[in-house]
Amino acid sequence: MYRKSSLMVDFFKDVDLQRLAGVKDVLGIDIMEDAVSVVELQRCGNPLKKSSSRFSVMQSFMFEWEEAQTVEERAKKLQNVLQLRSPKAQWAVANVASRAVRSLVVEVPSEVENIHEWIIEHHEKLLKIPISLDQVTIGLEVLKESGTGALVEVTFVRNSEIDETTLLFQKAGIELLAIGASSRDAVNAVMKSVQKGREQEIQFYYVEDQRTTRTTLINGKRMEVVQASLEAICEHETNDDQNKLMIASGRLAADMTRKRVTLFRPWNLPAEYCLAAGLAIKGLLPEISPVNFLKASSRERVAERISRRLFQRVALVLGSVVMILLLGHMFTGYYLEHRLQKIEDQILSSGSAYTEVELLKHQVTSLESRLQGKETSLRRTRTAKILHDIAGNTPDSLWFSHLKLTEEGPQRATVSLSGYARSPEYVTAFLKMLKHSGLCSSVTLVRSGVLQNSESVMLVHTNHTAFTMFEITADLSANFLAERQE
């Protein structure tokens, strides 16, 4: 029972509810200081098996803007570009620019019960700057746990930047599914296009203007994250790296001179689109990157809208199924009615022949009924004659208590007689009469004796011990039966 429940839970966990609600195209929008890169990604595959999803790039493009532009000006430009490109996607996932994000990996002691509270308590020490908690939003993602503690990636984002990003997309008329931070979501593209089915350890370098992020992936999980300059990261590489797959992506990935580092191009896109593609993956598969800096009220609105669309689609499908069943029932009834009408027309076209057949059928039924009644009547009359003849040859001092006639055919019948007589002589006389009268072909006295008190016979005489009881079996003669058959 538990195994069945577990299988059922796993099945529903693998159902792609977003896809069923119509969210199959998402824009990944990488916002940089001086430019924006956009990737429109579409999810393919069975919506009932999310783990087997495939992705295809519908379009990708990049445009520049000036740092001095206001939010309204940037929103207008983003809106105009998207109108020219006419993407199918109605949803988008964007990131907050790196300047407003601080991401670091910390080891939380094992005795800590609530990691979030521990981070809040130590946030100034971690950031190394005095800042109020109402000015930042904290995102947590546990990379791995051990007996000594948990390795946690902590991301701090200024609330003002989150509000500015949200306002930018509101004015551009684009619905956000989520907001990411910095370059963390670039690794999503690696996890869905390279790591799938690969057990080899992967080191992924995302190279930006001011820093490089190295992420270690093992079996599809992020195990370690290091952020520093490219030179600093290269200094700490070991000989063990010879057994690892090393790939790099980002705007400056081509500048890497290490011989064993391969340039990573997700779905054959240029390396500078890696983060935008990863953001689109975040929207299509939220569980792959659970940290979302979209405000709680906005997340609730998005969830409500998706739930409403899912309900509408399910209702539409169920309504269509009911309509198909009703139409099928209606057409089936129409077809049967048409066939019956056609048969009736054929019968009517037969004319007098059909009427004659029906008349003959009624006559046959009537004759069968009458013959059956006559046969029963004849059988009853024959039995009465046989019993009458036996009773006519019975002495006056002999009485019957039981009589049974068994007919085994027209020329064969057996009679069983039980009763009592005043004396054994009357029984003997009755046996002789049956043998010589021509009634029976054979007569057998089954038993005879003095009638006892235990016998179930009611006598008028008070002194009944003088009576003789008997039981006789006789086969009626064929001649006698033939005479009574007439």
Range list for CATH 3.30.420.380 in the chain: 15-294
What pLDDT does residue 460 have? 47
Q: 230: Cβ–Cβ under 8 A, 6 or more apart, which residues?
A: 205, 207, 212, 256
Range list for CATH 3.30.70.60 in the chain: 383-485
Domain range 15-294, CATH architecture: 2-Layer Sandwich (3.30)
For residue 335, list its beta bridge partners. Answer: none
Q: H/E/C letters for each residue in 366-386?
A: HHHHHHHHHHHHHHHHHHHHH
The pTM is what?
A: 0.64
The sheet with strand 101-109 has its strands ordered as 101-109, 149-158, 136-146
- The 10 Å Cβ neighbour count of residue 189 is 31
Over residues 78-122, the pLDDT tens digits come to 999 999 999 999 899 999 877 778 888 888 998 888 888 998 888
Q: Would you say domain 383-485 falls under CATH 3.90.1170.40?
A: no
> How far apart are the C-alpha atoms of 200 and 72, rounded to whole Å?
47
Yes or no: say if 205 and 275 are a contact pair by the CB < 8 Å rule.
no
What pLDDT does residue 261 have? 83
What pLDDT does residue 461 have? 47
Q: Which residues of the chain have pLDDT under 50?
A: 2, 454, 456, 458, 460-464
* CA 11 vs CA 3, 20, 22, 47, 385: distances in Å: 12, 15, 20, 11, 84
Yes or no: say if 227 and 211 are a contact pair by the CB < 8 Å rule.
yes
Over residues 169-226, the pLDDT tens digits come to 999 999 999 999 888 899 998 888 775 555 678 888 888 877 888 888 887 788 888 8
What pLDDT does residue 177 have? 93
What pLDDT does residue 92 have? 94
